[in-house]
Amino acid sequence: MDERVRSYIREHLDDGMAELKLLCASRSVSAQGEGRETAALVAERLSMRGMETRIASTPGNPVVFGEAPGRSDATLLIYNHYDVQPAEPLELWDSPPFEATVRGGQVFARGADDNKGHIASRLLMLDAYRAVHGEYPCRIKWVIEGEEEIGSLHLADFVHANADLIAADGCVWETGGVDPYDHPYLYLGLRGILYVELRCKTGTLDAHSGIGGSIFPNAAWRLVWALYAIKGPDERIRISGFYDAAWPATETDLAMLETLPEEESYLKEQYGLDRFLLNATGLELKRRALFEPTATVCGLSSGYQGPGSKTVLPAEAVAKMDFRLVPDMHPDAVFDALRRHLDANGFDDIELAHLGGEPPARVDPNDPVAQLMTRTAEEVYGREAHVWPFLGGSGPMHPFVHELGIPVVANGVGWPGGRPHAPNENIRIKDFQLGTEHMARFVEQFPSVAGDR
Amino acid sequence: MDERVRSYIREHLDDGMAELKLLCASRSVSAQGEGRETAALVAERLSMRGMETRIASTPGNPVVFGEAPGRSDATLLIYNHYDVQPAEPLELWDSPPFEATVRGGQVFARGADDNKGHIASRLLMLDAYRAVHGEYPCRIKWVIEGEEEIGSLHLADFVHANADLIAADGCVWETGGVDPYDHPYLYLGLRGILYVELRCKTGTLDAHSGIGGSIFPNAAWRLVWALYAIKGPDERIRISGFYDAAWPATETDLAMLETLPEEESYLKEQYGLDRFLLNATGLELKRRALFEPTATVCGLSSGYQGPGSKTVLPAEAVAKMDFRLVPDMHPDAVFDALRRHLDANGFDDIELAHLGGEPPARVDPNDPVAQLMTRTAEEVYGREAHVWPFLGGSGPMHPFVHELGIPVVANGVGWPGGRPHAPNENIRIKDFQLGTEHMARFVEQFPSVAGDR
């Protein structure tokens, strides 16, 4: 690897941290309507790296697109998002979520990991090439959207409408980094997702529970029963047809999972668990973690939630849920099946809102771009890379992979203690350095594999 | 009835409203730790009526006790409470909940009905006798507690410790008024209550739903399943032994219910309902409303509850519940049975907190004090009084009736649109006037029945 590029990165980590602080201070909680100002900020930061930049408006947050030529015509696409998850519950943060704070070699902020830390890393990588060589090793295209955390509501439309603009020989996805054993990890796909809100209204007014308890419908009870109709303690999702399109893990998949490290004790400690669902362990736990589609209650809300007691009978109750989908499930099909399931079980009064969905995506493990990312990771980290068939999380990878045919691979600056989506989200500065060096190494060699495809 | 007393009341309604505004402005949400300042205020208002007053401290809010001699040695006890329910959700109030506001012949405030309006009415009644006669028709004792809305946690102890102090020939309970047909209603008992909080913790940290969805326990799901184990859509409470001590309605009870007006269309309109539970109507609806013990989910809280989506897997979930109990159920027995039921159904990890309980109470319909209250209601209102065997709500009536042997009857200033425990709680000024006149009439004649017992 080009030692001058590596040195530049190591000597300019403070600049990377300053960039990250700037990005984190720009609030962009897409679930709460924020993001437009951050889009303008991000576009400005790309322009400063010599990229031709546009801010493509959508019915929601805009998509920022940047493009710059390189020494080679090989074209690398980068995907990130500038939006973040809500910071609530605020009282569990040890420092203000929108003021990136350095403590003990870590940076804490909402977005420090997911996903502004990765943007800052890639900007530093570009700076290094500009400073050392005055040009990039290949053509760089960069898509940074603002609705990833609410299901990338408008990115697929942007991809469809701009297929030629974003055509590329490979794509580096938003996030990556090291696993609990400080090995770099890669992933070759993502699960899909459907996010819904179930709302039950049984009247127009909360009632005194003494008056209504024996005779009024109770929205909280109806919501509980509707949820029970979706999944019971056996963890089997009861929606008719739910599993029909779900591919089971193949022998090849299981062999790939076998090579991955065991994370059980790490996860138990990190999340304070005393067991895993259904007491799964070993390969079965690894299989479940990825290949079992999910129905997760993300939130419940009804009636009185303050301190002490209030004898109220709620007229309204709300649940937020997500479903993680494996190949070849489709969020719209699951949404329709859920609606039918609720109706068939006597819950046609439950309002069901579709808050976003993305199909799953998978990349061939033998793709040269995937193999380059693995090889460069092992060179930079000096350790074996752990390659996942796909991750448990989701993202808008499907149109890139399955419509435009671009192989998508992963690199990043995260670590397992990064608490994405939770209070005290953070990255370690040493991971920021290595992840940035890895990205520089991959970009340097990318032209050599782009022609192989 | 003494016309000068009646005239005094009618001419001093504005004074009663001023008293009510003063009381409502003194915040006393016992569930949120408020009340001590209101206790001092209430004691002061009793002293101003020539009552010897004490503020009896308890581990919670103090009990205010006042006593004044009268022309007769017959002793009437009055029971009220100065605490109120939480005002949330604040955004549904049309005027500030703690600033009593008059609009269209009604007074709106938290506590306007439950229970400060009744305190103000009884103070005006006392004023009338003092102004007109310089003395009360009988000895008056008044207990005003500050924890009724959180289950009267310390009132029973006060009653036990002060049995001689509060001994009386009869007692007028906190509330009453007119029903949807503008007939006065009375009640001869209250259901009991148990209030609990169920808390499920499955970890120490909320997780990313993509990481944990297939393999981590989810507190929201476990809470849903635990609740389902308590009651399903058939409305039958599944706690083993729950119904054992519950008396069914007797033929006499059903006959009493038959005389009560049908409230179905009124309740449907008031609460925006399209049907009652299990499609009950007629006498069966009346029977269910009182004689069916309940399990009500009063609140649900878990995970993300803000706008839009957040893909989080909650580590904690809470439900608030109350159980309304019919004679001879006991809250402590129900609590123990609930704990055993959760354990037996695999939910021994659900923490169960006892937030208060009161046993049910019933008074003999043939008691002379009860019959006097009915007769005077019909004289003052000029309409038949509707007498309920007991009410669906709860209160600390048990020790007065079943330990001290004091017959408890009801009078008041409420109406069915009063929205107790809900936003825009209110009373009508015309009901305030008639309820106060009724109380004056009852007190005037009370010595004539006190000796009959």
Residue B180 pLDDT exceeds 90: no
Band of the pLDDT at B57, cuts 50, 70, 90?
A: very high
Q: Does the beta-carbon distance from B204 to A355 stay under 8 Å? A: no
Residue B231 pLDDT exceeds 90: yes
Return the pLDDT at B452: 56
- Chain B residues with beta carbon closer than 8 angstroms to that of A264: none
Q: Does A310 touch chain B (CB under 8 A)?
A: yes
Q: How much is the average pLDDT of B137-152?
A: 94
- Chain B residues with beta carbon closer than 8 angstroms to that of A263: none
Q: Does B417 touch chain A (CB under 8 A)?
A: no
Q: What percent of chain B has pLDDT over 70?
A: 99
Query: Do B100 and B112 touch, CB atoms closer than 8 A?
Result: yes
Q: Does A88 touch chain B (CB under 8 A)?
A: yes
Which of B203, B307, B421 has its CB closest to that of A208?
A: B421
Query: Do A98 and A110 touch, CB atoms closer than 8 A?
Result: yes
A198, A202, A279, A296, best to mutate vs chain B, most B CBs in 10 Å: A296
Band of the pLDDT at B433, cuts 50, 70, 90?
A: very high
Which of A292, A302, A393 has its CB closest to that of B299?
A: A302
Q: Show the tokens assigned to B34.
A: 């408020």
**Among A295, A350, A361, which Cα is nearest to A324's?**
A295
Rounded to whole angstroms, the Cα distance separating A377 from A50 reads 27
Return the pLDDT at A423: 95
Return the pLDDT at A309: 86
Q: Does the beta-carbon distance from A227 to B224 stay under 8 Å? A: yes
Q: How much is the average pLDDT of A105-111?
A: 98
Q: Does the beta-carbon distance from A311 to B294 stay under 8 Å? A: no
Q: Does the beta-carbon distance from B318 to A305 stay under 8 Å? A: yes
Pairing of strands B106-108, B63-68: unpaired
Return the pLDDT at A451: 67
Q: Does A298 touch chain B (CB under 8 A)?
A: yes
Q: Does B214 touch chain A (CB under 8 A)?
A: yes
pLDDT in tens, A237-281: 999 999 999 999 999 999 999 999 988 998 999 899 999 999 999
Mapped onto helix, strand or coil, the DSSP state of residue B280 is coil
Q: Is the dihedral of CA B249, B253, B255, B260 positive or negative?
A: negative
Return the pLDDT at A433: 98
Q: Which of A375-384, B40-49, B256-265 has the lowest mean pLDDT?
A: B256-265
Q: Does the beta-carbon distance from B299 to A310 stay under 8 Å? A: yes
Q: Does B300 touch chain A (CB under 8 A)?
A: yes
Residue B151 pLDDT exceeds 90: no
Domain edges within chain B? 3-190+360-450, 192-246+293-358
Query: Do B119 and B82 touch, CB atoms closer than 8 A?
Result: yes
Mean of pLDDT over chain A? 96
Number of A:B CB contacts under 8 A?
Answer: 325
Residue B362 pLDDT exceeds 70: yes
**Among B243, B239, B270, which Cα is nearest to A216's?**
B270
Rounded to whole angstroms, the Cα distance separating B290 from B257 reads 10
In B26-61, which ranges are continuous DSSP H helix?
A: 36-47
- Chain B residues with beta carbon closer than 8 angstroms to that of A220: 297-300, 319
Residue A452 pLDDT exceeds 60: no
Rounded to whole angstroms, the Cα distance separating B260 from B263 reads 9
Q: Does the beta-carbon distance from B86 to A304 stay under 8 Å? A: yes
- Chain A residues with beta carbon closer than 8 angstroms to that of B347: none
Return the pLDDT at B309: 86
Q: Which position has the token pair 């799953």?
A: A360
**Among A117, A185, A170, which Cα is nearest to A433's?**
A117
User: How much is the CA Rg of chain B, to the nearest whole Å?
Assistant: 23
Rounded to whole angstroms, the Cα distance separating B58 from B53 reads 16
**In whole angstroms, how far apart are CA B17 and each of B13, B44, B100?**
6, 17, 9
Rounded to the nearest angstrom, the minimum Cα separation between A312 and chain B is 5
**Spatial CB neighbours of A190, under 8 Å, sequence gap ≥ 6:** A358, A360, A361, A390, A391, A393, A394, A395, A397
Q: Does the beta-carbon distance from A421 to B312 stay under 8 Å? A: yes
Residue B453 pLDDT exceeds 80: no
Q: Does the beta-carbon distance from A216 to B394 stay under 8 Å? A: no
Rounded to whole angstroms, the Cα distance separating B16 from A303 reads 33
Which of B33, B211, B224 has its CB closest to that of A297?
A: B224
Rounded to whole angstroms, the Cα distance separating B446 from A261 reads 84
Q: What percent of chain A has pLDDT over 90?
A: 92
Q: Does the beta-carbon distance from B297 to A212 stay under 8 Å? A: no
| A192-246+293-358: CATH architecture | 2-Layer Sandwich (3.30)
Return the pLDDT at B310: 87
Name the class of domain B3-190+360-450. alpha beta
Rounded to whole angstroms, the Cα distance separating A254 from B204 reads 31
**Among B143, B453, B420, B195, which Cα is nearest to B322's?**
B195
Return the pLDDT at B281: 97
Greatest Cα pair distance in chain A: 78
Return the pLDDT at A180: 87
Query: Do B337 and B242 touch, CB atoms closer than 8 A?
Result: yes
What's the one-letter identity of residue A244? D
Q: How many CB atoms lie within 10 A of CB A402?
A: 16
Angle at A88 between CA A82 and CA A89, to 5 degrees: 150
E strand or H helix that includes residue A370: helix A368-381
**Residue A406 φ/ψ, nearest 5 degrees:** -95, 125
pLDDT in tens, A81-100: 999 999 998 999 999 999 99
A293: left (phi over 0), alpha (psi -120 to 50) or beta: beta
**Among B217, B208, B206, B349, which Cα is nearest to A275's?**
B217
Residues 362..401 of B with a Cβ closer than 8 Å to A: which? 391-394
Rounded to the nearest angstrom, the minimum Cα separation between A291 and chain B is 8
Mapped onto helix, strand or coil, the DSSP state of residue A429 is helix
E strand or H helix that includes residue A297: strand A296-303
Q: Show the tokens assigned to B104.
A: 């269209």
Residues 89..148 of A with a Cβ closer than 8 Å to B: which? none
pLDDT in tens, B377-387: 999 999 999 99
Band of the pLDDT at B43, cuts 50, 70, 90?
A: very high
Return the pLDDT at A150: 85
Size of chain A, expressed as the number of residues it contains: 453
